[in-house]
Chains A and B, each alone.
Chain A
Amino acid sequence: MIEETTKNASTFVSQVDSTFVFIFGVSLFFLFAITIFMVYYIIRYRKSKNPVATQIEGNNTLEVIWTVIPTILVLIMFFYGWSGWKNQKEIPDDAMPIKAVARMWSFSFQYENGQITDTLIVPINQPINLDLIAQDVLHSMYIPAFRVKQDMVPGRQANIWFESEKEGEYEIFCAEYCGLRHSYMKSVVKVISQEAFEEWNKVDSTLLQSDNPEVAIRLAAKGIFRKYGCIACHTSDGSKLVGPSYKNILSRKRIVVTEDGNEVEVTPDLDYIKRSIYEPNAEVVKGYDKGLMISYKDQITDEEIDQLMLYFESISETETSNE
């Protein structure tokens, strides 16, 4: 707050910050005034200086004064806080709708033309209306530079809107505790010029094409990972996050724990991959926690599954090894 970098980052900044500065100023004044009085009294009326106290039971006029003045001040604060918040609630009709999806532990953004990204890209001077969707637990969309925050509650509809007045990149944090990797659940909002946005929005990154088939497979998979936030929990370099890595996914046998607690060895194939995406908790690789991944059955398409398989085949060694 009150930093040069976030000045005019959104249209709310000046109003929120001035309310804060007003409250902060009044608070600071009272803190210092009362502390100075207190310290002065302690020094002036310490026992060695003032051996006999003057007994004063109270003073009704003073009680009335120091009830009325704080009452007036807090009512002003209430009013400022309320009027600033009202602006945040009234979404302009011309706001551009973007769907913001949160799940443990990533955000993704879906634009009207179907394009999906993991960073939020918006044009400057254009009201944006974020449709907030939480797929598993509570999350909270927090863009500190814009002074906006809204909890994302599974099964509930919520929106926030903002209009940025300054190009740049601003942090998005998840502000509602959502489990193991809560502090890593973040993203970026990029505010770009209207022209740049139109140019960018023409291309659908999930359909990126390349003449080199290997590159094309990789790009397609990358688009899918982004779209569904897979990389929040799974890496491609073999390091362990919350879920197993993709590295050599098809050439590593693994022990899985089924729902009734049995341990079974499986060799990953198309069926296994599908099961793991559709019913992630039916078979959980030993050593990993159950219940963290949601089912993507109604979201992911068959075509995307095929693209994923092509990618997995391309990154797996031909020899099957034991994990």
Chain B
Amino acid sequence: MSQQEKTSSHVSFRDYKGKYKGLLAWILSTDHKRVGMLYLYSIITFFITGVCLGIAMKLELIAPGKTVMDPATYNAIFTLHGVIMIFLVVVPGLPAVFGNFMLPIMIGAKDVAFPKLNLLSWWVYIFGAIIALSSLFMAGGPPDTGWTFYAPYSFKTNTNMLPAVLGAFILGFSSILTGINFIVTIHRLRAPGMTWFKMPLFPWTLYGTSWIQILATPIVGITLLMIVGERLLNIGFFDPALGGDPILYQHLFWIYSHPAVYIMILPAMGAISEIIPTFANKSIFGYKAIVISTLAIAFVGYFVWGHHMFTSGMSGTALYTFSFLTFLVAIPSAIKVFNWVSTLHKASIQLETPFFWAASFLFVFMIGGLSGLALGALSVNVHLHDTAFVVAHFHFIVFGGVGFAFMGAIHYWFPKIWGRMYNARLATTGWIMFFIGFNTLYLPMFFLGISGMPRRYYDYVERFHGPNIVSTIGSWVLFIGLFVIIFNLIRSAKKGPIAPKNPWGGKTLEWTVDSPPTLENFEEIPVVEKGPYDYS
């Protein structure tokens, strides 16, 4: 391609000729960068599918009564939207794409510790995805239980919930394999001189995330197997008709799925911690405080699952313990925000698209996090639980937090991955539309929740009409913004101007290698003597 002028020792990983040709050269490659790209393309495909389902839901909700679909379709669509977005997009999300691509380079390694295992985890991911989505093409149709599969409804429905559950079970293995791989890579393959506290923050967050992945994922695995056992063999774990306990299911489900939120958000925080110092041309404020708060979030995040169940009928002691711990987990997130903003003090800021994404990440993440405080307070939670308020809250965290960080990261590392620059004007236009659309879409849902509109509602009473119209219009603006962004990135990957090694003036190791990197990243393993954000 464009890299011909370079000598043979500088062949980009994209042009490298291995044993296989064409598509096989990608899907059988153990190169961490190619695996990262495989994840990227699969995740983007699922993400666009999930977005289209979301747009369809919002369209149905633009008016009370039937608008474009019947309730059965609506229920299936919100279930699929949740399953696809959570299990196929956000949980693998940043670690699988940017973790795979950047982690080895950022710590000065040639690849992850177990390259074959890494490729296997992508294959397991695709296999799980196919199983999960196979229900679409089976008689009975896709599940209509919501992505939480709450018992006992999930045992009563006539739709195909088992394929989705089995798919999620298989996807868990992919997650665990990636986690093990990253932990070993970080422990064993750091470049000489890179002590723990000289490691960049993105690898740090991947480290925290990986531990959650390998410790929490087995629990959802067991839970999903118990569902299979109950549905196929009639063993009464969760269905009261068989002597089971539906609350047990909720506990097991959230023991995984709450830490999963931190699997999603920690790497997002890591990406933001890379983008901000680079564009501020300044070392990050309070490096150690950010590292410690990362580990604190990963740890305390295990013990707050009960806040998903404040109205389910747990004992009073359990309730206030979980409420208390939930408030505690807010503190390290606040510390991070303070440090990020302080980094901007006396900085020299390049106003580029990745920085706009990072700054707007701070804004939406604060709204998401602060609205979590209202949900953490017991008496207020009773009113707001299972309403549109909760939907708005977690979309601000998961779509606002993780989504904005992902967008920031893809623009930030775009020159490194594709070796070309994107069109900055189009990218910024896309960002503005996305940002406006996003807030128009989700802010009204806070008001809907406060005034009492329950979630997962196909139809609603007239007084909820106004905010729903605004919200639906927001979804269209967001969609157009997303289209502009994706169009720009695809076009620039092919036609953009050639990128230099270090277009933004970053200090971490990925900016010292070629754009795109060669097969083994480094000609010589670097020796690290300075901290990761040394701009002096």
Q: List A residues at the B interface (Cβ < 8 Å).
A: 1-3, 12, 15-16, 19-20, 23-24, 26-27, 30-31, 34-35, 37-38, 41-42, 45-47, 50-59, 62-63, 66-67, 70-71, 74-75, 77-78, 80-85, 87-89, 136-138, 140, 142, 144-145, 147-151, 153-156, 158, 171, 173-184, 186, 289-292
Contact = CB atoms under 8 A, between A and B. Distances in A.
B331 A173 contact: no
B342 A147 contact: no
A75 B324 CA distance: 8
A147 B370 CA distance: 21
A292 B247 CA distance: 21
Contacts of B371: 27
A256 B206 CA distance: 57
Given A41-B341, A175-B387, A57 B287 contact: yes
B347 A41 contact: yes
Contact of A74 (B283, B316, B330, B346): B330
A75 to B, nearest CB: 7
Interface residues of B, number: 87
B153 interface: yes
Contact of A182 (B335, B344, B347, B458): B458
Nearest to A55: B536
Contacts of B490: none
8 smallest CB-CB distances across A and B, nearest first, come from A81-B377, A144-B452, A84-B379, A155-B240, A85-B378, A27-B370, A41-B344, A58-B286
Interface in B311-345: 311-313, 316, 319-320, 323-324, 327-328, 330-331, 334-335, 337-339, 341-342, 344-345
Contacts of A176: 150, 386
A130 B88 CA distance: 42
B153 A178 contact: yes
A42 B386 CA distance: 38
Interface residues of A: mostly helix, strand, loop or mixed? mixed
Contacts of A82: 320, 323, 377-379
Interface string B149-165: 01111001110000000
A163 to B, nearest CB: 15
Interface in B410-459: 450-452, 454-459
Contacts of A53: 280-282, 346-348, 535
Contact of A142 (B319, B327, B386): B386
B460 interface: yes
Contacts of A290: 158
Given A35-B366, A171-B461, A180-B72, A78 B377 contact: yes
A149 B453 CA distance: 13
Contacts of B348: 45-47, 50-53
27 contacts: A23-B377, A27-B371, A31-B363, A31-B366, A45-B344, A45-B345, A50-B347, A53-B347, A55-B535, A56-B285, A58-B288, A62-B286, A82-B379, A85-B320, A138-B151, A142-B386, A144-B451, A149-B311, A149-B385, A153-B240, A153-B246, A153-B313, A154-B246, A156-B246, A175-B386, A175-B454, A180-B72
A151 B312 contact: yes
A23 B380 contact: yes
B311 A150 contact: yes
Contact of A138 (B153, B157, B535): B153
Contact of B382 (A38, A148, A180, A289): A148
Contacts of A19: 377, 379-380
Contacts of B150: 138, 176-177
Interface in B149-198: 150-153, 156-158
B359 interface: yes
B457 A182 contact: yes
A291 B231 CA distance: 14
Contact of B376 (A46, A58, A77, A144): A77
A77 B377 contact: yes
A274 B347 CA distance: 79
A244 B365 CA distance: 49
Contacts of B376: 74, 77-78, 81
B155 to A, nearest CB: 9
Contacts of B327: 74-75, 77-78
Given A20-B380, A149-B311, A179 B75 contact: yes
A16 B341 CA distance: 33
Interface string B365-405: 01100110110111111110111000000000000000000
B452 A30 contact: no
Contacts of A186: 461
Contacts of A179: 75, 144, 153, 156-157
B316 A183 contact: no
B363 A1 contact: no
B289 A78 contact: no
B331 A71 contact: yes
Contact of A56 (B311, B346, B385, B452): B346
Contacts of A24: 374
Contacts of A1: 383, 450-451
Nearest to A12: B379
**Residue picked from A77, A145, A181, most chain B C-beta under 10 Å:** A77
Contact of A63 (B156, B240, B286, B452): B286
B362 A34 contact: yes
A16 B313 contact: no
Contact of B350 (A30, A47, A144, A155): A47
A71 B454 CA distance: 31
A151 B460 contact: no
